[in-house]
Structures are given as C-alpha cells and as structure tokens.
Structure 1
C-alpha cells in the first residue's frame, strides 16, 4: 500500500513556482496567493499548493486570514496545524512590521483622522470588520488590530480579544472602528451598548477607549462627536 504524497513546490511547473519567481523578480512581484503558497510549502495529492493558497484566499480573503486562529485554519482540508501556525505567524509579523518605524506612524488628532485612515480599507467590505487603532501616549498609531470579522450585518466582539491586542502592543488608548456594509454609518442600539461595555472594561484596565468610529460608504459617525461616549 502506498501513501499519497503532497505536491511539493518543486513539482509545480516552472511558471508556478513562487520561490523562483521571488528570487528572480523580488517579493513585490508575487501575488497574495503566491506569497501564501510559499508559507504553505506543499499542497495535497490532487491540489497543487498554489491552488490551495487561492482557495484559502477565496474562503477567508486576506483580511479574514489576519484574524483567524491557527486551530480554526487547521480545520481546512489540506491545512494541518503546522501550516496553520506558519501562516498566522507570517501574517502577524507583517502586521507588526507595518508599524515598526515610529516616524511613519500616523497621529490621530480627531475622529476625521481615524476615519480617513480606515475609510479606504473598510468602506467596500461586504462583512462587518471590527478593528481597533492602538495608540501610544501621544496618540501615534502603534498598530491596527482586527478584532473580529462578522456576517453581512454583525460582528462578534469579545472584550478579551480587544484588550489582549492592546496589552500585547502596550497601547495607552484605543479607538474602535468598524464598518457597516450597508453604507449607512448610523449606530445601532447594539453598537451603542457594546461600546459602553468596552469603555467600562477599558476603565478597569486603565486603557482608555477614546472613540468609536463607524465607517460607511464615504462617510462616518464618531461616537465622541455625537456625545455617546
């Protein structure tokens, strides 16, 4: 009895070898799927690694992969725990690197600044993305953390997930940001209730929740400006 071997990167046609392409043309020339394929290393008997990477991106999209746990990712066919941990670690390194240089960190001076920073990323999302801008004592953005990705109408947010990110980055304060796929940024009662709960949790941890900005299609609502918090 012979065991099925997973397809290795070197078994792909030359035109589908992301490693060789990176060495020849540089990392910037690779697609998201090709970069992901390098992290995965192997596919399955019937699914080349590049196709596996493409399927993952279709299933989760790049933003979704940024907030999935290794255990959840490992449940995908062709993705074991080792591959899942490698992918999540790679994405986390990229996220940290994007805010490594203090001189390049944006400064949030107003709700408009927060909305402007996140509008391009969130306004066209078809699911609710709940994120946090993690700030230094001088309101420099240390990191943008994805807390949850929800369905068409709602995201599920747990205080422990939010403040775990704040503690990891030693953030002094947080600005909550999420989008409404409908394009209307008007806050729901659920948005208001959740925000007040998170403000209270932040007070207990001495991490200030400065604002909650809801992103719509080219417009936004600030809880701070509305006097909600």
Structure 2
C-alpha cells in the first residue's frame, strides 16, 4: 500500500470506509485502520503490506500477545488492538458445540478428508464443549507438552485429538493418550479422547 499520507483524501482507509462502507475495504486498509500508525522507520501503508505478505488476517488473529509483539513494527499497543479486534469477531460468531462423537466427526471429517497423508488435529473446547479453535498438528503424533501448551493458550477446558487414516490405534497412540489424559487432569483440563476419522468410519478411544 502506498504511503497513506500521499493518497488523495477519499482513497485513504478511514475516508473510504466513511464514503463507501467497510465492505469495500481491502485487507490492507482494514489493518491500517486497526494499527492506526506506522513506525519512525516504516510508514503505515508499507507496514500493512509487509505484514500481509507474511501473514493472512486469520493468522494474525490467531496469535497471542508475545507472538504479535515479536513481529517487527508491532509493539504492545498495536498488538492489544489486534487481539481485541480478533476477540470481538469471535464473540459475534455463533458458537459451534461438539456435544458428542457424531458432532466431532461431522466437524473433523471435512477438515481431514482432503489430506493425502496422516494428519493430526486438536479440537480445543470450553467446559460445555463449545469449540474455541482447532489446531493442525502435522503428520507426527504431537507431544504432550505441545498439546497442553495450545490448550492453555486458548483457555480450553476440554480437548479431543483427531486424525485420519486407519481405524485402529497403535500402541504408541494408546500410551500417548494415557499420558495426555494424566497431564490434562493435572491442569484441570478434560481430554475426551482420540478420534480416528475416515470417509466411512469413526472410532474413538
């Protein structure tokens, strides 16, 4: 984005929103309004362009305070504005509740079906099973520390670990699940189990 100060008045993000409505803004323009200013070294327009070359808006919305502050050009003040905006958007969305195994399957199956190799995902929920977020965990069985770290960061009180592939669980997966349940219990988090999701099957332990 060009230096905002050099743009004609009606092409600047705030004026454009006032004249044409928020729906007409680009991602860069939305980000510019949220951030408000650049840095002494980097003008606001250039900062927004660089950020969106590296991240999508949804990636920025998923970060925590420390991660945002680790990005050059974003300090605590800008980070808190982005976090507040992300939380506001979350609260406007209708809640997704994964009340039982079938609901978990219906949510996970479209996510895992396109995968061409083994893929683990983590469902992060409130105590009453409202979905807070899901995390792609890669093709290797995730470590206990990584799962509990994500649960604590998201404020989750319940989790389900899911994967695609074969219906049966390996001995390593069974041992991992036992250790995960113990670790979660110590943190007052409920681990509801591990789910294998295929096009025609669902199995949970």
TM-score normalised to the size of structure 1? 0.60
Decide whether aligned partners of structure 1 residues 10 and 208 sit closer, same or farther in structure 2, where only a CA change above 3 A counts: same
CA distance in structure 1 between the partners assigned to 2:45 and 2:63 by the alignment: 20
8 A contact 2:180–2:191 mirrored in 1: yes
Aligned residues: 197
Give the secondary-structure state (helix, strand or coil) at the position aligned to 1:202: helix
1:134 is the counterpart of 2:129: no
Q: Which residue of 1 aligns with 2:12?
A: 17
Alpha-carbon deviation of 1:132? 2.8
8 A contact 1:129–1:146 mirrored in 2: no
Find the partner of 2:66 among 66, 71, 78: 71
8 A contact 2:3–2:45 mirrored in 1: no
CA distance in structure 2 between the partners assigned to 1:129 and 1:33 by the alignment: 33
1:114 is the counterpart of 2:99: no
Alpha-carbon deviation of 1:158? 4.4
Larger Rg: 2
Find the partner of 2:154 among 158, 162, 165: 165
Give the secondary-structure state (helix, strand or coil) at the position aligned to 2:55: helix
1:201 is the counterpart of 2:183: yes
Specify every segment of 5 or more residues in structure 2 that has no aligned partner in the other structure, as ranges.
none
Find the partner of 1:175 among 146, 160, 167: 160
CA distance in structure 1 between the partners assigned to 2:92 and 2:54 by the alignment: 25
Q: Which residue of 1 aligns with 2:52?
A: 57
Give the secondary-structure state (helix, strand or coil) at the position aligned to 1:210: strand
Alpha-carbon deviation of 1:95? 2.3
1:167-218 Cα distance to aligned partner (Å, 9 max, x none): 6xxx4x333457xxxxx65688876665443322233345322244577xx9
Q: Pairwise CA RMSD of aligned residues?
A: 4.1
Alpha-carbon deviation of 1:15? 5.8
1:112-159 Cα distance to aligned partner (Å, 9 max, x none): 43344356677779xx8954341443x4x2x42356x77787877241
Find the partner of 1:85 among 80, 104, 122: 80
Q: Which residue of 2 aligns with 1:181?
A: none
Alpha-carbon deviation of 1:107? 3.4
Give the secondary-structure state (helix, strand or coil) at the position aligned to 1:108: coil
Q: Which residue of 1 aligns with 2:132?
A: 144
TM-score normalised to the size of structure 2? 0.65
1:42-93 Cα distance to aligned partner (Å, 9 max, x none): 2346754244223223323233323323333223332233222322232233
CA distance in structure 2 between the partners assigned to 1:192 and 1:55 by the alignment: 44
8 A contact 2:3–2:46 mirrored in 1: no
Alpha-carbon deviation of 1:162? 0.5
